[in-house]
């Protein structure tokens, strides 16, 4: 994997109920790229993941969402997990952070069902002017961040929403 994310500050937005496999993949693979990850959550200290039909591993939270500004980051990644997405959708700070990314057109990646967060926070229509990716692949997130849209469109087809 190339290092297009090397040194970039990535905000990983989570809440209790984040998908364990998705969160593990995000952490492992994005750290390999040299990106600087900050896990931002609705709960202080730790978030509890969801694994199949039971609560799973805990993941450390670097910063609470109430103390987070999107302008401090280069890219937003939201891992999948229906339970966590519902909690983020009802959190006004999540909407504020997403709004910052939408307003500046910074890249955002929503893994799996996390893309519904755009709809639930009212930003689906506004995000059409932003670079939005719906993918489970960290390699595609890296390519997306670098603006290699043509390659991703060929590889993802309908899984991706990108505005020119």
HEC readout, 32-98: HCCCEEEEEECCCCEEEEEECCEEEEEEECCEEHHHCCHHHCCEEEECCCHHHHHHHHCCHHHHHHH
pLDDT tens-digit profile of 112-133? 888 888 888 887 776 654 556 6
Average pLDDT over residues 86-103: 92
Angle, vertex CA 140, rays to CA 153 and CA 96, nearest 5:
100
* Cβ partners under 8 Å of residue 56, min gap 6: 20, 48, 49, 50
Domains of the chain: 9-159 (3.40.50.880)
In angstroms, the CA 134 to CA 117 distance is: 11
pLDDT tens-digit profile of 71-82? 999 889 999 999
The pTM score is 0.81
- Considering only residues 119 and 135, tell me which one the structure prediction assigns the higher pLDDT: 119
């Amino acid at each position: 994997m190339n290092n297009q994310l090397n040194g970039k500050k990535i905000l990983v937005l989570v809440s209790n109920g984040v998908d364990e496999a998705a969160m593990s993949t995000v952490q492992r693979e994005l750290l390999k790229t040299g990106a600087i990850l900050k896990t931002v959550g609705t709960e202080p200290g730790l978030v509890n993941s969801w694994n199949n039909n039971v609560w799973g591993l805990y993941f450390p939270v670097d910063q609470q969402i109430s103390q987070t500004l999107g302008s401090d980051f280069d890219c937003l990644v939201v891992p999948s997990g229906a339970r966590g997405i519902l909690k983020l959708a009802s959190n006004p700070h999540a909407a504020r952070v997403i709004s910052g990314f939408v307003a500046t057109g910074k890249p955002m990646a929503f893994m799996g069902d996390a893309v519904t967060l755009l709809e639930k926070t009212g930003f689906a229509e506004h995000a059409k002017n932003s670079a939005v990716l719906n993918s489970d692949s960290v390699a595609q997130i890296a390519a997306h961040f670098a603006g290699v849209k043509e390659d991703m469109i060929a590889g993802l087809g309908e899984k991706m929403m990108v505005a020119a």
